[in-house]
């Protein structure tokens, strides 16, 4: 399970486009399109450069009026794990 210190970045092999509801992705090795809406789209845009889960929580907390702790304990780890599982993002060397 992802911890706050783990860093992630977009997988550069992902094909993607901005759409009205968020971001449409076609990850490598899959024929299944993914639509990231709301905070999912924000995560995608934020991970243009490597960020740790803690840094990502800092970015999102400002936008969604929640605490970083809430994001780190309740939302981000599972979201990042799922994005990694689907090869939309990959673990990165901390910058």
Partner 1 sequence: MSWDRDVAAIAAQGLPTMLGPVRVPSPSRWRELLLMAEEQGLTGLLLRALDEGRIIPEDGALEGGHLGEAADAHLEAMAATLRLERMLVEAGTLLEADGIETRVLKGPAVAYLDNSEPALRSFRDIDLLVRAEDYDRVVELLEREQFVRAFPEPRPGFDRRFGRGVSLAGPSGWSIDLHRTLAFGPFGIRIDVADLWAGSERFTVGGHTFSALAREERFLHACYHAALGDRRPRLVPVRDVAQLLLRGRLDLDHVRTLARHWSGEPVVALAVAEAWRVLGISARHPLTEWAWSYRPSRRAAAVRSLYRRQGSGYALISIAAVGALPSVRDRAAYLYALAVPDREYLAGRHGGVVRRFGHAARELGTVAVRRDRTGDAERPPPRIHPTDTGANR
Q: Does 26 interact with partner 1 (rule: CB under 8 A)?
A: yes
Q: How far is the CB of 26 from partner 1 (least distance, A)?
A: 4
Phi, psi (deg, nearest 5) at residue 42: -65, -40
Q: Does 95 interact with partner 1 (rule: CB under 8 A)?
A: no
Q: Does 62 interact with partner 1 (rule: CB under 8 A)?
A: no
What 3-state class would DSSP assign to 57? helix
Q: Does 15 interact with partner 1 (rule: CB under 8 A)?
A: yes
Beta strands in the chain (DSSP E): 7-10, 15-19, 22-26, 34-37, 51-52, 89-92
Q: Which is nearer to partner 1, 14 or 60 (CB)?
A: 14
Selected from 3, 28, 74, 82, the binder of partner 1 by CB under 8 A is 28
Q: Does 16 interact with partner 1 (rule: CB under 8 A)?
A: yes
Distance CA 25, CA 15 (A): 6
Q: Which residues contact 77 (CB under 8 A, 6 or more apart)?
A: 1, 2, 3, 53
Rule CB under 8 A: which residues touch partner 1? 11-21, 24-26, 28, 33, 35
């Amino acid at each position: 399970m992802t911890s706050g210190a783990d860093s992630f970045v977009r997988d550069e092999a992902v094909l993607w486009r901005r759409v009205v509801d968020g971001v449409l992705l076609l990850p490598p090795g899959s024929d299944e399109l993914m639509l990231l809406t709301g905070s999912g789209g924000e995560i995608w845009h934020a991970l243009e450069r490597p960020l740790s889960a803690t840094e990502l929580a800092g970015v999102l907390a400002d936008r969604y009026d929640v605490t970083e702790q809430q994001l780190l304990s309740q939302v981000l780890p599972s979201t990042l794990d799922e994005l990694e599982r689907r090869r939309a993002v990959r673990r990165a060397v901390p910058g």
